[in-house]
Chain A
Amino acid sequence: EVQLVESGGGLVQPGGSLRLSCAASGFTFSSYWMSWVRQAPGKGLEWVANIKQDGSEKYYVDSVKGRFTISRDNAKNSLYLQMNSLRAEDTAVYYCARVLGEFVVVPAAPDYWGQGTLVTVSS
């Protein structure tokens, strides 16, 4: 059974930093692209970032470029999101998600999602 468990969310002041983690199990982590997707309170889903199986390619939505960094540790079956220079508009539930398809070259869509971790940016 595929399981994705996020952690690391919490309350942070504007301009602060936070590191989210996602522990994966139930599948061969190193064979899949992985994603972070967020959802602001009462709003829709927003893709944040993708990372390739070996970490060699990373893509970000424009609003987080230069502030957020996605990374992974295949030995630990873990995905990370380092978030710096946080803003009030970054307040959201952050979901870790596996991308559909083993060994795919181009990421298409998430298929399995974690339950999310809430990040609140406020003074």
Chain B
Amino acid sequence: SYELTQPPSVSVSPGQTARITCSGDALPKQYAYWYQQKPGQAPVLVIYKDSERPSGIPERFSGSSSGTTVTLTISGVQAEDEADYYCQSADSSGTYLVFGGGTKLTVL
């Protein structure tokens, strides 16, 4: 089955830049999406179609894609950004959705 691979954890100091990667063989053909999930809450879409930002999401959140890896970048990290982040995409057929294992972002 198709898998997306994320680092389990990333740590940054406030004001620094956090980068969370996600790798998968089908990513050159399928868009990636990123979700933020805080404890006890439902996920929130923060990036869609690799690099688009939904309305209401701060500009410090951005996304990029290169080959089989996509990256979520959070510039000027704030304490409120501490959360779990999940990438999501589809298999090469576009039929089945898949999530990465999630990355816990810690703001030191």
Residues of A within 8 A of B (CB): 35, 37, 44-47, 50, 59, 61-62, 95, 100, 106-116
- Chain A hits for B41, CB < 8 A: 115
Whether B98 and A47, one on each chain, are in contact in the complex, defined by CB atoms closer than 8 angstroms, is yes
CA distance A116 to B1 in the complex (A): 26
Interface size on B, residues (CB 8 A): 27
CA distance A107 to B94 in the complex (A): 8
With A59-B95, A61-B96, A108-B33 as known contacts, state yes or no: A44 contacts B101, CB within 8 Å: yes
With A109-B33, A111-B48 as known contacts, state yes or no: A47 contacts B43, CB within 8 Å: no
Task: Tell me the residues in window 39-72 of chain B with beta carbons closer than 8 Å to chain A beta carbons.
Answer: 41-45, 48-49, 54
Q: How many Å from the CB of B98 to the closest CB on chain A?
A: 6
With A108-B90, A109-B48, A116-B42 as known contacts, state yes or no: A46 contacts B99, CB within 8 Å: yes
Whether A44 and B99, one on each chain, are in contact in the complex, defined by CB atoms closer than 8 angstroms, is yes
Whether A95 and B97, one on each chain, are in contact in the complex, defined by CB atoms closer than 8 angstroms, is no
Q: How many Å from the CB of A51 to the closest CB on chain B?
A: 12
Whether A45 and B48, one on each chain, are in contact in the complex, defined by CB atoms closer than 8 angstroms, is no
Closest chain B residue to A49 by CB distance?
A: B97
